[in-house]
Structure 1
Amino acid sequence: MNTVPTADAAAPRRPAGPIGRSAQRITAFALGPYQSAVIRIGFAVTYLLFLLREVPYRQELYGPDSPWAWDLAHRLISENGAFTVLMWSDGSVWFEVVYALVLVAAFCTMIGWRTRTMSVLFMVGVLSIQNRNVFMGDGGDNVVHLMAVYLVLTRCAQVWSLDARRAARNAARRAQGLRPARDVVGPALWAVLGPVLLVAHVQGGLGGTWWLPTLLWVLWLGAAARWAVDRHAPDGETRVLLDVVANIVHNAALVVIMAEVCLIYATAGWYKIQGSRWQDGTALYYPLKLDYFTPWPELSNVIAASSLMVMVVTYATVIVQVAFPFTLFNRRVKNVLLVVMMGEHAGIAVLLGLPFFSMAMISADAVFLPTVFLVWFGGRVGLGRDRLLSRFGRGGGVRVPGPREPVGAGAAGPGGEAPPRPGDGGHTLVG
């Protein structure tokens, strides 16, 4: 007997079981929009301030006047296969152009303008400057180095970015039956960067590794595919497939970032346990007596004079670093230790004079911050911004939908920002 399928049978079913629901969540959404935005802003601000601080000394550190001369750097890079655009020329003009472009890329990444393009340029700039003189780096530089690469793979402009604002405006136009504003800047950037990438690849200027050229070409070609789909089939299955792939890559990159942070703390903690100075509780005392690590000598002397304080801080540092990866299974304990670690890094910035190392580590720690706190914090910042603008006779930001909220729904996201619809601004090189 033939049966006719009912409406319920024809309707899509929700995945059964936790595995099915988790798989749907991973593919349907780019998770951690606020955490990835904080990482983007934190590392961009960290490197931007670092470059600005070193402006008077840039030529001696990474330029033609560096003791690590261009030919020495070229010889080392030819052996280890590292990448830096500063090896394309040894001229002072080329160095100044690259340095200025990295500053611009860091600033644009921070504000979330054409984030996919600028995050790629930010990664290229970080690799270029650090690999020009590898002897100038420290632990903070290594963290920035890694996170700049991971950031390219994330959809980190879903909130708190100019891309999110542009995407929200386009979504509002669609809801009104209007066509989104035509994008000219994105395709122009794509058209300019393509020939540069081609020439660099042909001339062997992308280093001696396979992953960097592959990553850059995949991003450039993926941008072309996204633009074609958005133009000719914005609501088709191909668009959905591209969104699924982008969400999976974003979520995987976010997991890698979290694993990297845990690995940093676990490695540092277990190595400290093996050191005799950490075992007897005197490890903090010696840096406090070095001129290089005492920007505030009086404060350092006060702390170093208290053997109890030195011992407590030394042991607490080891305990927190070793225990943190295990606290991820308990949200409350994790949040407490997260506050302790951020406070510890803030103390390192002030007491030992390592602000950029501390900023990099705090930015990395932010991946574990609770979403509720980030939403609240964003709301406070947005409220303060609106009050400031009102004093100058300007209205607050236009209300746009929040994360996963359809256009025209209830409350706005924090500060008026909202993530774009999957595949909108901040996702591709042209967007």
Structure 2
Amino acid sequence: MNRLALSVSRGIARVTESPLGPYQSAVIRIGFSATWLLFLLREFPHRQELYGPDGPWSWDLARQLTSVNEAFTALLWSEGQIWFEICYLLAVVSGVLLLLGWRSRTSSVLFMVGVLSLQNRSVFMGDGGDNVLHLMSIYLVFTRCGQVWSLDARRAARSEAARARGEQVRDRTGPVLWAGFGLVLCAVTLAGRLGSGWLVPALLWTVWAALGLWWLVGRFAAGGEPRILLDVIANVVHNGALFVIMAEACLIYATAGWYKIQGSRWQDGTAVYYPLHLESFSPWPALADLLSANGTVVMLVTYGTVIVQVAFPFTLFNRRVKNVLLAAMMTEHAVIAVVLGLPFFSLAMIATDAVFLPTSFLRRLGCRVVRMRLVRPRGGGGAAARATGTEREPEPEPSAGVRQP
């Protein structure tokens, strides 16, 4: 009984004392923001047909659908061309800001608004990757994804160094952002433009209030019990969101695998052959013919896909087997991106898989990137190492990457 109580207490302490998976949360932040940004830039010439006034899914049809399913989209606030261009540009900017980790709390909310606005405007334009991105954009709002490999982490390291020198550090950008977005949110709410649903408006107002409370506590009660309490709440929310992301990934693979088992083409080992010869999914016909020419290879890939997807959730208890299957799934998605011409779907799934990458591997990856001078930190060596997440010290303090509104 004492052992059980001790284990429970240790588990509670682990969940509440610090945000888990700082490198994993940074990787999924970078992965999903990069996927969304590349998609928006790639489809920029076709944005009018996808989400704008020239699309087959008209503004009136979208308005009727959202009134029924209560989906949120800022594109329906106005039918004008200028408003559409503004929303598209803001979606691009929010993707860049989240990718860099600048004010990740605020940029994650803007990223979510951009994703929901465009995808809910034309619901028939997406695929499975868009569905994953749709869900993950919401989950990222609850994570502390700017602890490492971000401008937030660099700013926090510099602030910490300044405090160690006895200098006073004040954040002027945060309060300005908070006040500005508060005014916009208030105006939109009073105008009745947040839609008929309650989830997104409640989330936006809750995040806005939480950011204001966080700044006030950090400004007037830093180091006291209120700050400790907020840290505990933020850690619990972050760890819960990270668990949901992992569970979502397992659910995606488990359902996909078990549904495949029920299909006759997957049972006889020929399912992979057919999409390779669909005109819509054959950007490289010669490569598709080469891969499908050998029946044994087709059968092995077909059965291997099912086995990996069904088995993956059960391998999380064995680190070595999990890492092998994880590498296999990432390789599979990379092949799908090239052979079937689905790069954004594959990038979204690889970003989802990245939540299971080992911390040691991500640390080594960060060190290698720094050595290759892809990242050029400025300032002191210790602060730069903490900002890029390459230090060999213990995990960052819970408040290291979240002192931003």
**Shared fold (TM-score, shorter chain, > 0.5):** yes
Q: Deviations over 1:166-204 (max 9, x none)?
A: 000111111222212x22211111111112112222333
Q: Structure 1 stretch 281-290 or stretch 27-36: which is displaced more?
A: 281-290
- Evaluate the alpha carbon distance shift between residue 336 and residue 398 of structure 1 in structure 2; reply closer, same or farther with a 3 A threshold: same
Q: 1:401, CA displacement in angstroms?
A: 5.7
SS at match of 1:414: coil
User: Which structure dedicates a bigger proportion of its chain to helix?
Assistant: 2
Matched, 1:119 2:108: yes
Cα deviation, 1:319-352, whole Å, max 9, x if unaligned, reads 0000000000100000000000000000000110
Q: Quick one: percent identity of the two aligned structures?
A: 62
- Structure 1 residues 416 and 206 mapped into 2: Cα distance closer, same or farther (>3 Å)? farther
Indicate yes or no: 2:322 matched with 1:309: no
Name the structure 2 match of 1:175.
Answer: 164
Give the AA of the match of 1:345: H
Greater shift, 191-200 or 336-345, is seen at 191-200
Q: Is the 8 A contact 1:160 1:418 kept in 2?
A: no
Q: Given that residues 91 and 114 in structure 2 are in contact (C-alpha distance below 8 angstroms), is that contact kept between their aligned partners in structure 1?
A: yes
Cα deviation for residue 418 of structure 1 reads: 10
Query: Deviations along 1:115-160, whole A, 9 cap, x unmatched?
Result: 1100000000000000000000100000000000000000000000
Are residue 89 (structure 1) and residue 78 (structure 2) matched?
A: yes
Instruction: Please name the residue that 2:286 is paired with.
Output: 298
CA distance in 2, matches of 1:222, 1:115: 14
Q: Quick one: which of 381, 388, 395 aligns to 1:399?
A: 381
Q: Partners in 2 of 1:290 and 1:192 — Cα distance?
A: 50
Matched residues in 1 for 2:78 and 2:368: separation?
Answer: 47
Alpha-carbon distance in structure 2 between the residues aligned to 1:24 and 1:102: 38
Cα distance between partner residues in 2 of 1:238 and 1:426: 15
Deviations 1:81-121 (A, max 9, x none): 10000000010000000000110000000010011100000
Who is 1:69 aligned against?
58
Pairs within 5 Å for 1:122-133: 122-133=111-122
CA–CA separation in structure 1 for the residues paired with 2:393 and 2:115: 28
Pairing of 1:6-85 with structure 2 (within 5 A): 17-85=6-74
Alpha-carbon distance change, 240 to 50 in structure 1, aligned in 2, over 3 angstroms: same
- Deviation at 1:420? 6.4
Aligned residue in 2 for 1:356: 344
Structure 2 CA distance, aligned partners of 1:218 and 1:143? 24
Q: Which runs of 5+ in 1 are unaligned?
A: 1-14, 390-394
1:7-38 deviation digits (Å, cap 9, x = unpaired): xxxxxxxx972211121111010000000000
Equivalent residue for 1:339, pick from 324, 327, 331: 327
Q: Determine which of 233, 236, 239 is the counterpart of 1:245.
A: 233
Q: What is the aligned partner in structure 2 of residue 227 from structure 1?
A: 215
* Moved >4 Å (runs of 4+): 415-421
Aligned to 1:414: 390
**Superimposed CA distance per residue, residues 277-311 of structure 1 (whole angstroms, 9 cap, x where no aligned partner):** 11111111111111111111101011111111111
- 249, 252, 260: which one aligns with 1:264: 252
Structure 2 partner of 1:8: none
Q: Contact (CA 8 Å) 1:397, 1:416: kept in 2 or not?
A: no
- Cα distance between partner residues in 2 of 1:162 and 1:212: 27
Q: Is the 8 A contact 1:35 1:367 kept in 2?
A: yes
Check conservation: 1:44, 1:107, Cα contact below 8 A: yes
Q: Describe the shift of the 1:328–1:416 C-alpha distance in structure 2 as closer, same or farther (beyond 3 A).
A: closer
Q: CA deviation at 1:214?
A: 1.4
Shift of 1:210: 2.1
The 1:416–1:136 alpha-carbon spacing in structure 2 relative to 1, beyond 3 Å, is farther
- Conservation of the 8 A alpha-carbon contact between 1:402 and 1:419: no
Aligned partners of 2:306, 2:401: CA distance in 1, in Å? Answer: 43
Q: Any conservation in 2 of the 1:155–1:427 contact (CA below 8 Å)? A: no
- The 1:418/1:165 distance shift into structure 2, 3 A limit, reads farther
Computing the radius of gyration from Cα coordinates, the structure with the larger value is: 1
The amino acid that maps onto 1:73 is A
Instruction: Name the TM-score, length of structure 2 as normaliser.
Output: 0.95
Question: In structure 1, the residue corresponding to 2:144 is in which secondary structure?
Answer: coil
* 1:423 equivalent in alignment to 2:399: yes
| Residue 402 (structure 1) shift | 9.3
TM-score by length of 1: 0.89
Q: Indicate conservation of the 8 Å contact 1:48/1:107, yes or no.
A: yes
Tell me: CA distance 1:420–1:195, structure 2 relative to 1, closer, same or farther (3 Å).
farther
Structure 2: runs of 5+ lacking an equivalent: none
The CA distance in 2 between the partners of 1:55 and 1:229, in whole Å, is: 42
Alignment counterpart, residue 158 of structure 1, candidates 147, 150, 154: 147
The residue number in structure 2 matching 1:206 is 194
Q: Which amino acid aligns with 1:205?
A: R
Where does residue 106 of structure 1 map in the other structure?
Answer: 95
* Rounded Cα–Cα distance in structure 2 between residues aligned with 1:275 and 1:371: 37
3-state SS of paired residue (2:271): coil
- Cα distance between partner residues in 1 of 2:392 and 2:36: 27
Change (3 A) 1:153 1:247: same
Q: Identify the residue that residue 12 of structure 1 maps to in structure 2.
A: none
- For residues 340 and 403 of structure 2, what CA distance do their matches in structure 1 show? 39
Which range moves more in the overlay, 146-155 or 21-30? 21-30
Paired amino acid for 1:65: D
- 1:200 and 1:416 map into 2 onto residues whose CA distance is 46
Distance 1:215 1:27 in 2: 22
Distance in 2 of aligned mates of 1:52 and 1:415: 34
Q: Please give the alpha-carbon distance, in whole angstroms, between the structure 2 residues aligned to 1:372 and 1:402.
A: 19
